[in-house]
A and B are shown apart, each in its own frame.
Chain A
Amino acid sequence: MVKELKSPVRIVLENCGKINPESIEEYIAQGGYKAVNRVLQEMKPEEVINEIKASGLQGRGGAAFPTGLKWEFTSRAKDTPRYIICNADEGEPGTFKDRPILEGDPHKIIEGMIIAGYAVGAHYGYIYIRGEYILSINRFQKALEQAEEHRFLGEDILESGFNFQIEIHQGAGSYVCGEETALMDSIEGKRGNPRFKPPFPPSSGLWKKPTVINNVETLANIAPIILKGADWFRGFGTKECPGTKVYAVSGHVKEVGVVEAPMGITLRKIINEYAGGMRQGKFKMAQVGGTAGAILGEDMLDVSLDYASLKRKGLVLGSGAILVMDETTCCVDMLKCFLNFFKRECCGKCVPGRIGTEKLLEITTSISQGKGKEDDIDLILQTAKVMQKASLCALGQSPILPISTILKYFKEEFIEHIKGRCPTGVCKI
Chain B
Amino acid sequence: MKLRDKEKDVIALLSEAQRESKHNYITEEKLKLIAQEAGLSYSEVYGVATFYSLFSLKPRGEYIIRVCDSGPCHLMGSRSIFEVLEEELKIKVGETTPDGKFTLEETSCLGICDEAPAMMINEKVYGNLTPQEIKKILKRLREKKW
Contacts and interface: CB of A to CB of B under 8 A. Distances in A.
Given A191-B51, A291-B109, 12 more contacts: A93-B108, A94-B113, A95-B113, A165-B3, A167-B3, A169-B12, A172-B54, A172-B55, A173-B55, A323-B75, A337-B69, A337-B70
Interface of A: 2-3, 90-96, 99, 123-124, 126, 130-134, 154-155, 163, 165, 167, 169-175, 186, 189-192, 248, 250-252, 256-258, 287, 290-291, 321, 323, 325, 329, 334, 337-338, 340-341, 344-345, 347
Interface of B: 1, 3-4, 8-12, 14-15, 38, 40, 44, 47-48, 51-55, 69-72, 74-76, 107-114, 116, 120, 123
Given A96-B114, A170-B15, A173-B55, A191 B48 contact: yes
Nearest to A5: B114
Given A134-B123, A172-B52, A250-B72, A341 B15 contact: no
Given A155-B1, A345-B108, A257 B114 contact: yes
Contacts of A258: 114
A266 B114 CA distance: 20
Contacts of B9: 169, 189
B54 A131 contact: yes
Contact of A124 (B3, B55, B111): B3
B51 A192 contact: yes
A251 B76 contact: yes
Ordered nearest first, which 3 A-B pairs have the shortest CB separation?
A173-B54, A172-B52, A173-B53
A191 B47 contact: yes
Contacts of B10: 189
Contact of B113 (A123, A248, A334): A248
A132 B75 contact: no
Contacts of B72: 93-94, 250-251, 323
15 contacts: A3-B114, A96-B111, A124-B3, A131-B15, A132-B110, A173-B107, A175-B109, A189-B8, A189-B11, A189-B40, A190-B44, A191-B48, A256-B116, A258-B114, A337-B69
Nearest to A123: B1
A92 B109 CA distance: 7
Nearest to A125: B3
Nearest to A329: B75
A172 B109 contact: no
Contact of B114 (A2, A130, A163): A2
A47 to B, nearest CB: 26
A174 B8 CA distance: 20
A91 B53 CA distance: 13
Nearest to A177: B52
**Interface-centre pick from B15, B47, B48, B55 (highest chain A CB count, 10 A):** B48
Given A132-B120, A191-B48, A338 B71 contact: yes
B45 to A, nearest CB: 9
A291 B113 CA distance: 13
A155 B76 CA distance: 49
Contacts of B51: 174, 191-192, 347
A290 B109 CA distance: 10
B11 A186 contact: yes
A133 B1 CA distance: 27
A344 B107 CA distance: 9
A232 B139 CA distance: 55
Contacts of B70: 93-94, 291, 337, 341
